[in-house]
């Protein structure tokens, strides 16, 4: 059976078909059986098969064209409380057998860890809805080239100050994931991810600026048109020309929706199990305590049909479910895998691998309304660097954007640094915009923070 499953896969190639999905599930079962034969008390296996196309056009010509087909098998075995992992991209029987053997060898040399092991059996996903994640795009190379060239041409033709381009890229991706473990759980699903992006360079009075725009969706019919992506990329580039530096000051700051997601990313990092059990988070022991203003509601919605972060189960097969992380500004719980949960004396929250569709509820104003509410301050549209300390909450990052006065954008700014502490920044959020960016796993509108240090000249 082990050998025949591999032969079937080799005969089918890497085309993602219903038959291949069944074969991958059968192969996962055979790998688990092999782990048991080699002495593992329990095991888990993750199999992935991806295929896609990516084309980049620059200055009207094709710069890159790439077809890719990837496959991989990752095996983790447990010898009681000893853990070993190994992986391979070779699906031949001998290679898979050796991969299991390597995982077992590693486990024999690792230290015992009472928190190691499979998730609790009762937490495994049993039934889940169709999440509408699979939308194959019959896009060939010639069609992709035409789309990329059209997008870049629309961008370059918008304004004579667009003098150069980093290119327009169109891509399609379809993948199959299978996870199985010794509890008898086996789950599999397919998902697609298609995108179109454009990055440009503008020049004025000898000074250059760069900006970009992109569209991403599981269903290609939901992508913005090439003309729209190109137009927005060009508009964002041109509006940055003539940027100035600011004097150092204290001022309100609005994080535009596309960069506001990073604030929620830092929040998730601080309440993730790994940071908590290592005592490396400024939000340790904050469950049940106010972290945000009372109007803030942050929740996870993993079963939104077609959304970029939707998933029926986490990386350990634990069922995903909707839940509040922050209600009325109060932290309701943490983001835990099975291992981190055991280290903390808690239970997995179905977040091995991260959160799924994290949403902060929007307020009543769009970005223009937030600008008027702020009156005078900084609109941040780009963040640079990684000056964030999750242990202390200290925050300092390079930024670019626009200075606002009287609720209106006055001029672009660059070469500045914004600084504060995440604990204070979270507590002093004044408003969340309804200009929600839905292109990723974190959905947020623009966020207005009462005051930060803006360091410039």
- Quick one: pLDDT band at residue 20, thresholds 50, 70, 90? confident
- Quick one: pLDDT band at residue 389, thresholds 50, 70, 90? very high
Instruction: Let me know the angle formed at the C-alpha of 179 by 53 and 72, rounded to the nearest 5 degrees.
Output: 45
Domain with CATH 3.30.2290.10 in the chain: 2-238
pLDDT of 8 > 90? The answer is no
Nearest to 315 by CA among 299, 338, 335: 338
Q: What is the pLDDT of residues 173-193, one digit of tens each?
A: 999 999 999 999 999 999 999
pLDDT of 204 > 80? The answer is yes
**DSSP secondary structure string, 322-361?**
-EEEEETTEE---B--HHHHHHTT----S-TT--SSEEE-
Global confidence as pTM: 0.93
Rounded to whole angstroms, how far apart are CA atoms 22 and 311? Answer: 19
Instruction: Let me know the angle formed at the C-alpha of 231 by 226 and 232, rounded to the nearest 5 degrees.
Output: 105
Pairing of strands 249-255, 377-384: parallel
Q: What is the pLDDT of residues 324-367, one digit of tens each?
A: 999 999 999 999 999 999 999 999 999 999 999 999 999 999 99
pLDDT of 396 > 90? The answer is yes
Mean pLDDT, the chain, whole residue set: 94
pLDDT of 281 > 50? The answer is yes
pLDDT for the residue 22? 86
pLDDT for the residue 6? 37
Using H for helix, E for strand and C for coil, what is the string for 185-202? Answer: CEEEEEEEEEEEEEEEEE
Q: Looking at domain 2-238, what is its CATH homologous superfamily?
A: PmbA/TldD superfamily (3.30.2290.10)
- Quick one: pLDDT band at residue 9, thresholds 50, 70, 90? very low
Q: What is the pLDDT of residues 142-167, one digit of tens each?
A: 999 999 999 999 999 999 999 999 99
Pairing of strands 162-181, 323-327: unpaired
Q: Residue for token digits 């408003």? A: 431
pLDDT for the residue 457? 79
Other C-beta atoms lying within 10 Å of the C-beta of residue 267: 25
pLDDT for the residue 17? 43
pLDDT for the residue 336? 98
Longest dimension (CA), the chain: 73
Q: What residues have CB less than 8 Å from 133, skipping those under 6 apart?
A: 189, 190, 191, 192, 218, 306, 310
Q: What is the pLDDT of residues 434-452, one digit of tens each?
A: 999 999 999 999 999 999 9
- Quick one: pLDDT band at residue 16, thresholds 50, 70, 90? very low
Strand partners, 409: 404
Percent of the chain scoring above 90 in pLDDT = 93
pLDDT of 455 > 90? The answer is yes
């Amino acid at each position: 059976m082990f050998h025949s499953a591999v032969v079937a896969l080799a005969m089918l190639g890497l085309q993602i078909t219903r038959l291949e999905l069944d074969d991958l599930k059968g192969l996962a079962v055979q790998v688990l059986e092999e782990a048991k034969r080699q002495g593992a008390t329990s095991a888990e296996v993750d199999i992935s098969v991806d295929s896609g196309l990516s084309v980049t056009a620059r200055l009207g010509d094709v710069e890159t064209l790439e077809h890719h087909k990837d496959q991989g098998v990752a095996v983790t075995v447990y010898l009681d409380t000893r853990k070993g992992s190994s992986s391979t991209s070779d699906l031949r029987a001998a290679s898979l057998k050796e991969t299991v053997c390597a995982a077992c060898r590693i486990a024999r040399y690792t230290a015992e860890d009472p928190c190691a092991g499979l998730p609790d059996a009762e937490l495994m996903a049993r039934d889940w809805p169709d999440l509408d994640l699979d939308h194959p795009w019959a896009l060939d190379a010639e069609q992709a080239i035409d789309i990329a060239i059209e997008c870049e041409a629309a961008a370059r033709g918008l304004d004579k100050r667009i003098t150069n381009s980093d290119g327009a890229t169109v891509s399609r991706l379809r993948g199959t994931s299978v996870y199985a473990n010794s509890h008898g759980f086996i789950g599999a699903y397919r998902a697609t991810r298609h995108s179109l992006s454009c990055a440009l360079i503008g020049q004025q009075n000898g000074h250059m600026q760069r900006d970009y725009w992109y569209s991403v969706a599981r269903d290609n019919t939901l992508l913005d048109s090439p003309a729209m992506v190109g137009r927005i990329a060009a508009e964002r580039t041109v509006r940055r020309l003539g940027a100035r530096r600011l004097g150092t000051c204290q001022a309100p700051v609005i994080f535009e929706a596309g960069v506001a997601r990073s604030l929620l990313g830092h929040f998730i990092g601080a309440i993730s199990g790994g940071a908590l059990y290592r005592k490396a988070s400024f939000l340790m022991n904050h469950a049940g305590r106010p972290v945000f203003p009372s109007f803030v509601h942050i929740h996870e919605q993993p079963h939104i049909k077609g959304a970029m972060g939707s998933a029926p189960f986490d990386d350990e097969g634990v069922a995903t479910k909707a839940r509040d992380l922050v209600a009325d500004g109060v932290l309701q719980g943490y983001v835990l895998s099975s291992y981190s949960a055991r280290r903390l004396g808690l239970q997995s929250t179905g977040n091995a691998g991260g959160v799924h569709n994290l949403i902060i509820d929007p307020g009543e104003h769009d970005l223009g309304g937030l600008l008027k509410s702020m009156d005078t301050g900084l609109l941040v549209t780009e963040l640079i660097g990684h000056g964030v300390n999750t242990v202390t909450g200290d925050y300092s990052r390079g930024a670019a954007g626009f200075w606002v006065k009287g609720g209106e954008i006055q001029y672009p700014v660059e070469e500045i640094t914004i600084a504060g502490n995440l604990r204070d920044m979270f507590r002093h959020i004044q408003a969340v915009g309804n200009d929600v960016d839905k292109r990723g796993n974190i959905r947020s509108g623009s966020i207005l923070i009462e005051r930060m240090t803006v360091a410039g000249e």
